Amino acid sequence: MPPDNEAADTVAPDPSKRKRRRGQRLTPAELAELPPGPAPGAGTLRNAALAHLARYSTTEIGLVRVLDRRIQRWASRAVTFGDAPDRVAELAAAARAAARLVATSMVASGVVDDAAYAAARARSLTRSGRSRRVIGAHLAQRGIDPDLAAASLSDDADTELAAALTQARRRRIGPFGDPDVQSADEAGDDPLAEARVRNRALGALARAGFSRDVAERALSTDREEADRLILHLKRL
C-alpha cells in the first residue's frame, strides 16, 4: 500500500483531455476550428428543419429564416477557411433555393401551418395582456399574411378590455393599484395629483397598444369585475 504522501501527489487527469462522450456537443470554439464541409443540401436542410420544428412552432417564413441563418454560418466559415468567395456565394444561393423548397414541403405536409400558428400565438399573447395592435405587429414580424393575422385577432370588446386589465395588473395600476401608494401620492397640496396618476396609467396602457377608450374603461373597472374578466380570458 503506497504511503499517504504518494497518494496525495497523484495528478488527476486533465478534464480537457478526457474522451468526449457520445452525443456530447462541441463548444463554439471547437466548432469554429472544424472545416465547414460541403454546402448544406436539401437533405441536410430538411433534417435541420425537422430538428427545429421538434422544439419550436414557427411559420413558413420563420423556417426559411432559420435555414438561411444556417446557410450563412456555413458560408462565413467556408470563406474563413479559404474557399473562393464567388464559389461560396454560388453554393449559398443554391442552398437558399433548396431551403425554400424544404419549407414549402413542410407546409404541404401540414408540419408548418401559418393559420394554426397565428391563432395559437394570438390567443397566448392576448391572455398575457397584449393588445390587438401589439399582437398584429408580432404576427407581421413572423411573416404572417395580414389577412390571416387579422382573422386570428379577437374582435370582442370584452376580450380587449380583459387584456388591458391583465396589463394593468402587471403594472399595478387602475383597479390593481396600491391604495396606500396612491393616497400618499395624492395627499399633497397639488390639486392635479390625481389627474397625474391617472394620466400616467393611461400612458402605460397606450404604450402597450391599447386605445384611449379601452384604457379608460380598464382604469374605471372595479377590482371584482376586473378579476372576473381576467379569469374569463384565461379560460378562452
Task: Please report the pLDDT score of residue 35 as a whole number.
Answer: 82
Torsions phi, psi for 190 (to 5 deg): -75, 115
Residue 192: per-residue pLDDT: 76
Cell (9 digits) for 80: 474563413
Q: Residue 8: its pLDDT value, please?
A: 40
Q: What is the pLDDT of residue 189?
A: 52
C-alpha cell at 86: 464567388
The pLDDT score that the predictor gives to residue 29 is 73
**How confident is the prediction along the chain (236 residues), in pLDDT tens digits per residue?**
444 444 444 444 444 444 455 556 767 777 667 788 899 999 999 999 999 999 999 999 999 999 999 999 999 999 999 999 999 999 999 999 999 999 999 999 999 999 999 999 999 999 999 999 999 999 999 999 999 999 999 999 999 999 999 999 999 999 998 765 555 444 455 657 888 889 999 999 999 999 999 999 999 999 999 999 999 999 88
